[in-house]
Amino acid sequence: MEWTHILAFNLTLLAAMAAPGPALLFALRQSISGGFRAGLATGAGLACAAAGWTAAALLGLDVVFALFPWAFVLVRVGGALYLIWVAVQLWRDAAQPVADSAQPGRRAFVGGLLVNLSNPKSVLFAASVLVVIFPPGLSAIETLAIVLNHLLVELTVYAVFAAALATPAARSGYLRLKPGIDRAAAVILGALGLRLLAGR
C-alpha cells in the first residue's frame, strides 16, 4: 500500500460524505440545535460507525452478506425501522424548544452511531471502494491504518461541520425556521427508511 492509495480513498470518502443522506441531515440538525458539543458527539458516533463498516468490509462482512442474504435483510429492516423512528421523533418534536429536541452528550453519540449503523449498504459501498483503490493482500497493520484514517477523516470533517453550524448566526436562523426544517428532515429520513425497508 502506498500513500496515493490513502489519498484516493480520502478523496472518495469526502465526496461520499458531501452527498445528502441520513448522516449529514442528522449531524446538521444536531449541530445547529444542540451546539458544538452535541454536533461533535454526533459526528463522533457517525465516524465510529462508518469506520466500523470499513473495518467490516476489510474483514469480509460483505462476503457474509452475500452468503447469507437473510442476515443482510435482517440488518436492513432493523436500520430502516430506526430511520423511520428518528423521522417520527423529529416530526413530533418539531414545535418543541431546542433544549427539548436536541440530543445531548452520550445520547448524541449513540444517535450518530445508530444512524450510520442503520444502513448495511454502507459496507457494500465500502467494500467496492476498497477493492478498487487498495491492492490485495493488505497486512493487519495496513488494515488498521486504513480504518484509523477513515475515523480521523470523519471526525475532522464533522468537527469542522459542527463548529461552522453552531455559530450564533446559524443557530438564530435555525430557531426561526425550526419547525419547517425539522419536518422536512423528518420527511427525508422517513422516505429513506421506507426506501431501505422496500429493499432499494
pLDDT tens for 76-108 read 777 678 778 878 877 887 777 655 445 556 788
Residue 29 clears pLDDT 70, i.e. is over it: yes
pLDDT at 182 over 50: yes
Query: Residue 100: what pLDDT?
Result: 45
Mean pLDDT along residues 116-128: 68
> What mean pLDDT do residues 172-186 have?
76
Task: Please compute, for residue 85, the number of CA atoms within 13 A of its CA located in the half-sphere on the CB side.
Answer: 10
Q: Where are the domains of the chain?
A: 3-14+21-197
- Greater confidence (6 vs 106) lies with 6
Q: CA 71, CA 112: separation in Å to the nearest integer?
A: 22
- Kindly state the average pLDDT of the residues 6-31: 78
Q: Which three cell numbers stand for residue 99?
A: 433544549
Residue 198's pLDDT is 77
Q: Residue 108: how many CB atoms within 10 A of its CB?
A: 25
The model's pTM is 0.71
